[in-house]
Structure 1
Amino acid sequence: MAVAKDNKETYLFTRVDKNTKSLPVSFEDWALKAREILPDGPFDYIIGGSGVEETLAANIKAFSRWAIVPRMLRDVTHRSAHITLFGQQLRTPVLLAPVGMQAIAHPDGELATARAAAAAGIPFVVSTVSSYSLEQIAQTMGDAPRWFQLYWSNDREVSASMVRRAEAAGYSAIVLTVDTIMQGWKRRDLRNGYSPLREGKGLANYIQDPVFRSRLTEVTPENAVEEIIRGIYHPALSWGDIAFLREHTSLPILLKGILHPEDAKLALEHGADGIVVSNHGGRQLDGAVSALEALPGIAEAVNGRLPVLLDSGVRTGSDVIKAMALGANAVMIGRPFMLGLAVAGEQGVASVLDTLLGELDVAMALSGSNTVADLNPSILVRV
């Protein structure tokens, strides 16, 4: 923390010291640095989207269509970004989104991300296709908050086994991704001939799962990959499957990938505990509505009856403010921390989080907000 002694004003934004001044600050600079480090395949997999990437661009543009209207003389000395989700007190409304196969960015992968998240007190949503097992990641995080993201399997018992393992390992919520019934058409990956799953980067949770292992005549990386690919895309996934999932876990279940208000209402009807408004960061359906554009309608549809999170397109602290003002209870970030991981491992993730939380604090103060309860549509105007 830096204090300007002349006017006694205390700044809560990110401090600059010898350990961080050599690292990038903006998302764009992190991307440029990561481009220097990573081969084409991993870099394009992280940074790219599906099709011609209209949805990817729309996620960013949507935030620029809203402007914050600062309020003055409101005494914002005692600011707090604390929130409560599912009975858990969190220091900030920011979570790390489930991003699979993080070893493509850095050898330490999810373990580096887990350490940075734990140190920052930010929940880490661990992917089904992580490079390290959910148990290894849990051990790394200790008592720090963590959720588990589930890719539904055609073999229901594998899905049930995964959530039981997550609950036993201290994860406090299950995030069911519902928008990957088919793989998005990703031109960059096709051009590069790149599939990190086929390279064995996301096998850890499967290789260590007793039910999944029982389905293989011989447990080898090659056999595991083929079995995962046979099971991970599930066009028959339906609302009735939530009831099956509920039978196997007492944890809150959030549905990630909801973009239509009617689907939000159906989520309520079928017992979901939360919604993540997301278009998978523009990685699934190109030409889809942006997450931020979908958010107000979904927030109105659920009317506070369950938490609504926003994922896709969040880059800055001001983006967090805008999402919260439009109805989100919290947000998730993905690409920003992945670029930090690629550039500097755990330190890179920590630096990205430090910057984002610093920006968030400044944005709250300058918008005249002391708490997240102050973040409502009255502080925004449509541009």
Structure 2
Amino acid sequence: MDFTHDERTLDLVGRLEAFMTEAVLPAEPVFAEQAQAARDRGEPWTRPPVLRQLQAEARGRGLWNLFLPDAPDGTRHGAGLTNVQYAPLAEVMGRSPHIAPEACNCNAPDTGNMEVLAQFGTPEQQQRWLGPLLDGRIRSAFCMTEPDVASSDATNIRTRIRRDGDDVVVSGRKWWSTGAMDPAAELLVVMGQSADPDDEHVDRHRRQSMVLVPRDTPGVTIVRGLTAFGYDDAHHGGHAEVTFDDVRVPASNLLVGEGEGFAIAQARLGPGRVHHCMRLIGIAERALELMCRRASQRVAFGKPLAAQGVVQAQVASARIAIEQARLLVLKAAWLMDTAGNRAAHTEIQAIKVLVPSVVQQIVDDAIQVHGGAGVSADTPLAELWVAARTLRLADGPDEVHRASLARRELRRWADA
């Protein structure tokens, strides 16, 4: 494995770092002010105008749709980068995770939904939804998790997708549907159970389907926006509770076909987990930078915090953890590029367990060094901590990935 960046990657990293320094980071306070003004007007999910300005700037700098690799048939929807090429770019964007990814049209859940449409969508589905998403004209949401079952086991999902002639009818309740509060979210990608619940002959991994539901379809109700540790996550389009009351859409809105939902979900979540971890490395780097700056500027008990042994230990531990996490993320990305997502299964699960946890600790240490300022809104640290902590649940909780990793490892010795 050689993780030396090629010339194209180095060029994009340089341009993206300049974009961050010259445009994104200076826009953070403007974004916050405009977002608060929207809340005061009773429009908390309206995108701040500065975001459109940043998107136009990113397009002009050639920093648009960086996440999407070429399709197997050679079709290029995005920048056509490999996972290894995209990793350092996602890390740079992760330094401002609530603005930079969307400024470059590389934000979840749209990235995952675009990947699904590019890989599994029909030409008609791609024309109707993928094109506008790639152009940034609309947003989307992914509706999988449910409040009434343990959704960490996707076979528990109870939302029904029932065939009725040339239509399918969707009935159920979802929550943590990221992006659905955004007025621009015109598409909901919904996962539900399409097999007869009483048919015991259907494999439990073939009971689910995915269907594309326009948000304005009769029977779709956006019930409320959820908060994570008090944050509404409006910059991601929020996290919605959504009900589907006999929602009727054409059967042609099914992705691939009935019974393919679980397989599509696995294909979608693989790259998504890697992208999250790539961005988390950027969060860790920013937290470490803030910690070092603060430690160098503050004096306690007669000497700078940077001279205190406990702070030095935190800084050293953070640097070690970042380097370890980055290397494991790059290995997972390299395996995905060279051997396919299935061959990288262990590494993808490993980084999903490791990276959010170590980044959470690094941000927590940075908060501690900042004292009261660290838990306030005067620094980005509190919100960065929430992002890392939440990702220990999103795309599968730590416990599920640990259990799967353990089973895979133990199978190697079962017949030894």
Q: TM-score, normalised by structure 2?
A: 0.26
Q: Normalized per residue, which structure has more helix?
A: 2
- For CA contacts below 8 A with separation 6 or more, give which structure has more relative contact order: 1
Q: TM-score, normalised by structure 1?
A: 0.27
